[in-house]
Structure 1
């Protein structure tokens, strides 16, 4: 398969009064054509910062200090503002975390979707309206409701509108940044099922950012697990579930209830994500890891391939394999 997106050694830092916060450091991954990648981790691990870095939305006091982000061979970090404007929506789009804030309350939903189409494609207003109705129907909304305003929709319906808007110009890659946060459990399931269905139907490449591990493992092809600004494990969903290599990944799985095995004990992870300001150069998970040994407190483990397509950053893997 061909990679639609390739991220290499991406680092994004923020200046603070107490020092430099290394929010994202040396992050690398790729997303293939028609693939859904889950980006998972606790709050504060850097997932949204990765998405904002890819989209070139990092503002002062933040800065992308290193790395490259190639979308279909073009480095987004080196693209001009005009090149970015032409790429956004058409090649790369985002489903926002909160559709309530993403939608303008004084414009109809149809006008907002049509605006994206008319700005980026050479079509008439009639053609844009026809596509808008089709998009609404694609996400389960009556096309004739294009004249409705955001306040006339429930939270779940607003999120469907946001999804329709993200698909307005048939992008190759869609980033869903915790797009079900704030919705009730039933609506979350419906929205996630919709995203997966559209991904298959339209052969989309998707980055699904979430802290919901069961949901991610249910629908994603590949999973990248982030901890304290770094990816600590990257593998197929099958390997994450059945051949987990990093202690943090194992701890996340153990901390997640399993509905198929209600008697299994759920074990919480002690402690919290470390402060990323002036963090020492060592394993960032060692203070919460039951398997940590002296080397973990002194050195930074290399993010390396432990088997075909499976990457991990842990000294334990090296010790076990000699």
Structure 2
């Protein structure tokens, strides 16, 4: 399979009054053509910062301090502003977390979708309008609603419009940044099903950022689990479900309800994500890990491949079965 995106040792830091916050540190993963990757973790673990770093949207006091982000072989971190502007929407786009904030209330839905088409594609306004109507139909909205304003749409319909905007220039990679946040459960399910259907229909590569592990395991090909700025496990979804190796991954699975097994006990994870300022050189999960031992408190484990296509960062690998 062709690799569309390769993230290599990506680190993004923020200057604060109390010191340097290592929001993302040495993050590595890749995404193949037509593949959907779920990026999972608690709030504050760095998921959105990874997405913003990939898109080069980090602003002061934040900075990408190291690493490479290769989109079809081109390094987005080193790309000029002009090259980056030409690649956004056309090669890589984002479905934002809140469509209500992403849509401008004083312009029609059609004008906002057409804007990126007219900027990035050599087409007439008539052709751009035709494509806009097709995009609206694609996401389940009557094409003639292009004349409508955002306030005339429900939350779920606004999110569908945001999806249409992300697909306007036929990008190869789409990042969905918790795009169902704030929607009711039924609408969430409809939006996620729509993203999955479009991914298959258009052969898209998708990064789906979420804290909803059951939803991600149901639709994603691979899963990358983040904790406190690090990816602690990355593997095919089935492998994560059957043989998660990192204690944090196991804890997330145990903390998720299983509708197929209603008698399964749901166990919460004690404690909270650590302060990322001046974090010591140790496993970042050790204060919450029931299996931690002295080495975990003194060194940071290497993120490495433990089986074919299965990567994790845990000193317990090689010590024995800890599942």
Cα deviation for residue 97 of structure 1 reads: 0.3
1:221 paired residue number: 221
Secondary structure, aligned partner of 2:284: coil
Cα deviation for residue 320 of structure 1 reads: 1.9
1:247 paired residue number: 247
2:237 paired residue number: 237
1:94 paired residue number: 94
1:319 paired residue number: 319
Structure-to-structure mapping, 1:266-277, within 5 angstroms = 266-277=266-277
Q: 2: distance between equivalents of 1:319 and 1:21?
A: 32
2:162 paired residue number: 162
1:306 paired residue number: 306
Q: 2: distance between equivalents of 1:236 and 1:24?
A: 22
Cα deviation for residue 217 of structure 1 reads: 0.2
1:197 paired residue number: 197
1:51 paired residue number: 51
2:29 paired residue number: 29
Secondary structure, aligned partner of 1:25: strand
CA deviations over 1:19-46 (Å, ceiling 9, x no partner): 0000000000001000000000000100
Cα deviation for residue 247 of structure 1 reads: 0.2
Secondary structure, aligned partner of 2:318: helix
Q: 1: distance between equivalents of 2:124 and 2:19?
A: 52
Q: 1: distance between equivalents of 2:12 and 2:320?
A: 33
For structure 2, list consecutive stretches of 5 or more residues without a partner in the other structure.
none
TM-score by length of 1: 0.99
Q: 2: distance between equivalents of 1:283 and 1:57?
A: 28
Cα deviation for residue 319 of structure 1 reads: 1.8
1:257 paired residue number: 257
Secondary structure, aligned partner of 2:128: helix
Q: 1: distance between equivalents of 2:73 and 2:266?
A: 44
Q: 1: distance between equivalents of 2:146 and 2:318?
A: 57
For structure 1, list consecutive stretches of 5 or more residues without a partner in the other structure.
none
Q: 2: distance between equivalents of 1:154 and 1:75?
A: 38
Cα deviation for residue 307 of structure 1 reads: 0.3
Secondary structure, aligned partner of 2:287: helix
CA deviations over 1:132-185 (Å, ceiling 9, x no partner): 000000000000100000000000000000000000000000000000000000
Secondary structure, aligned partner of 1:275: coil
Across the aligned residues of Structure 1 and Structure 2, the Cα RMSD in angstroms comes to 0.6
CA deviations over 1:60-98 (Å, ceiling 9, x no partner): 000000000000110000000000110000000000000
Cα deviation for residue 318 of structure 1 reads: 2.8
Q: 1: distance between equivalents of 2:66 and 2:78?
A: 11
Q: Which stretches of structure 1, 4 residues or more, deviate above 3 A after TM superposition? A: none
Secondary structure, aligned partner of 2:319: helix
2:12 paired residue number: 12
